[in-house]
Amino acid sequence: MTATMIALRQHHHRLTRLTLALGLITGLLMPNQGLAQERQEDPRVGLAAGFLDAGQAVHNMELVRNLPKPEGFYDPEQPAGAPRTPPPPEPAEGEEAPPRPPQGLSYTNSDLAFIDNYMFVGNYHGFNTYSVEDPEEVERLASFVCPGGQGDVSVYGDLLFMSVEQTRGRLDCGVGGVEEPISSERFRGVRIFDISDIRRPQQVAAIQTCRGSHTHTVVPDPNDPNNVYIYGQGTGSVRDGEELAGCIDL
């Protein structure tokens, strides 16, 4: 093979590699160009910020009714909610960890439950009851302020069950919280409300648990419609045995 033939073959290989590289770059750029065009056409891009008047983009649905949180379910000094704060730095060896700052969840809506034409909206601060018989004329029927989070709700017959996990929860549903580390006034578990009068719910029982209740599941007895079982799932810290007998942190 002559030197000229070798040079031509090497030149051909270089051209082939260059062509492949250009093809690869083109293939990578084309999807990105398409993505950029999709972003330009996305109606969510450039939506105006706001609290009750934020910009909206809707696809294949229609907003027919929007009700703000009622009084007692937001902080009047921070109606849009408290900003989330970063966790404190890790403590040095031998030092105690500082308490975590509040994360602005005190008034967060958490869960929904439905029965007949009624909707129950759980909240870290209690729950609200609405009539949804006419979606365009949703009516708030009752508000029950009872802090404690998580506020997940379930309904069975004339009973409403609500999960309570935070240490500020009180047996009497008071809004003052509980400052003492061990207190007979604290409640963490599952509250039970009588909602037979839909406009005037009444707390009729409160089941204490060691970790509180982040959420729960209601299971009716297949052989007795008047009997239900509640599975409570908690993710909070374990309570001191002096506050609730039988609680042990393993």
What is the rounded distance in angstroms from the CA atom of residue 45 to the CA atom of residue 206? Answer: 47
3-state SS track over 30-49: HHHHHHHHHHHHCCCCCCCC
Where exactly are the structural domains of the chain? 1-31, 109-233
User: What pLDDT score was predicted for residue 170?
Assistant: 94
User: What pLDDT score was predicted for residue 248?
Assistant: 86
**On the CB side of 222, how many CA atoms lie within 13 Å of its CA?**
0
- CB burial string 80-92: b at 16+ within 10 A, e below: eeeeeeeeeeeee
**DSSP assignment string, 9-21:** HHHHHHHHHHHHH
Q: What angle do CA 163, 165, 167 make, to 5 degrees?
A: 140
- Give every residue of the chain whose pLDDT is below 50, as ranges: 3-8, 11
Question: Under a CB-based contact definition with an 8 Å cutoff, are residues 185 and 178 in contact?
Answer: yes
User: What pLDDT score was predicted for residue 66?
Assistant: 85
User: What pLDDT score was predicted for residue 3?
Assistant: 47
Contacts of 169 (CB under 8 A, 6+ apart): 147, 148, 149, 178, 186, 187, 188, 212
What is the rounded distance in angstroms from the CA atom of residue 132 to the CA atom of residue 184? Answer: 39
- Predicted TM-score of the model (pTM): 0.74
